[in-house]
Amino acid sequence: MDISVEFSGHKLANVLMNASGIHCMTIKEMDELAASQAGSFVAKTATPNPRQGNEEPRY
């Protein structure tokens, strides 16, 4: 069964991806997502300079 999809000019093997902010905080986690069978993955925002974020605890 072909469950591929084209999104913004890119063909993805499937529509499965992680939720934003879930399992994407470290390089190790990003590498695991890249090696998984997910069609794509969502990363947290990265900036060149620190900026204020949500106060802890965050869930």
> To 5 degrees, how large is the angle CA 19–CA 20–CA 24?
95
Question: Which domain, by its residues, includes 12?
Answer: 5-35
User: Does a structural domain hold residue 27?
Assistant: yes
- How many independent structural domains does the chain possess? 1
User: Does a structural domain hold residue 59?
Assistant: no
Kindly state the DSSP code that residue 8 receives in the 8-state scheme: T
User: Does a structural domain hold residue 17?
Assistant: yes
Return all residues near 18 (Cβ < 8 A) that are at least 6 apart. Answer: 24, 33, 38, 41, 42
pLDDT band at residue 59 under the 50/70/90 scheme: low
User: Does a structural domain hold residue 26?
Assistant: yes
Specify the length of the chain in residues. 59
User: Does a structural domain hold residue 30?
Assistant: yes
- What is the tens place of the pLDDT at every residue in 10-56? 999 998 988 887 788 788 988 998 899 999 888 877 778 878 877 88
User: Does a structural domain hold residue 41?
Assistant: no
User: Does a structural domain hold residue 13?
Assistant: yes
- pTM of the predicted model, to two decimals? 0.58
